[in-house]
């Protein structure tokens, strides 16, 4: 079963991680159905709307969480969508 959720990403300090972060987001583009970014000089935020299995969303947040400059949190709804 798939679920709908939100993944919040905050980029702190040095933006050198952005290229690598984008590669991870591209790898998981099959579950990202929406994206909004708020760029700022010192702290930028990205909100992703995701639709996928809990395992797939966890894999995305796990890979993003390995970057020191990123703070990542996810919230999944209880709403299930059949494959």
pLDDT at 14: 77
Longest dimension (CA), the chain: 41
pLDDT in tens, 5-43: 999 999 998 788 999 999 999 999 999 999 999 998 889
Contact 59, 28 (CB under 8 A): yes
Q: Which domains does the chain have, with CATH numbers?
A: 2-75 (3.30.70.1150)
Tokens coding 11: 């980029």
Tokens coding 71: 């703070």
Greater confidence (83 vs 30) lies with 30
Question: Running DSSP on this structure, what letter comes out for residue 83?
Answer: -
């Amino acid at each position: 079963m798939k679920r709908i959720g939100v993944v919040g990403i905050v980029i702190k300090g040095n933006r050198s991680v952005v290229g690598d972060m984008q590669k991870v987001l591209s790898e998981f583009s099959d579950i990202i159905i929406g994206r909004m970014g708020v760029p700022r000089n010192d702290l930028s935020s990205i909100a992703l709307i995701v639709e996928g299995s809990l395992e797939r969303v966890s894999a995305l947040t796990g890979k993003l969480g390995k970057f020191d400059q990123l703070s990542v949190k996810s919230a999944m709804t209880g709403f299930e969508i059949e494959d």
